[in-house]
Amino acid sequence: MPVDRVYEENVSLDTIGNAFFLRTIHLDLLRPAKVIVITSEFHLPRLKSIFEHVLLVPRFSSNTAIKNDAADTSGGTNGGSSVPSQKKDDGNNFELQFIGSPDTGLSAEVLQLRSAKEARAKKIFDEETKFSLKTLEEVHRFVFTNHMAYASKRGFQKRDELDPKLKSTY
């Protein structure tokens, strides 16, 4: 693939941030026909679950009305009217493909630790988090108010320490 067709997302600190920033920085603007996401095999199940959700949720609720001053046909001089609610064009009509790269270079112990952490995090996302994230607006709110990688309150709350062996693999 030509390098000028590769768009990296290099702002995020974790997987949900990676999906959010990929979508808001690149996908919603460029509207590609195909998106290929590459990650480690051990990370693939959780990444796929998060990316399929975050990349494809609508930006706003379908109840969001689109204000359009030009649509006022009432003949009045009120400066405009609300048009009945419409589905906004979310631009997420692309083919989404995932590729896992081999987990070479990791010891069996480290691979087991990382895989176990990924499985726990995937379970939390699948069973709890994603159900509250029905729109990109809600993803944004979650990332910047609740998620301890991005929320301002992160500096004021004690975080759980990672297993030292696991931490050394980052």
Which pLDDT score, from 0 to 100, does residue 46 have? 97
C-beta separation of 55 from 92 below 8 A: yes
Q: What 3-state class would DSSP assign to 81?
A: strand
26-41 pLDDT, tens digit each: 999 999 999 999 999 9
**Domain boundaries, given as residue ranges, for the chain:** 3-61+90-167
Give the pLDDT band of residue 89 (cuts 50, 70, 90): low
Residues of the chain above pLDDT 90, percent: 60
Is residue 98's pLDDT more than 60? yes
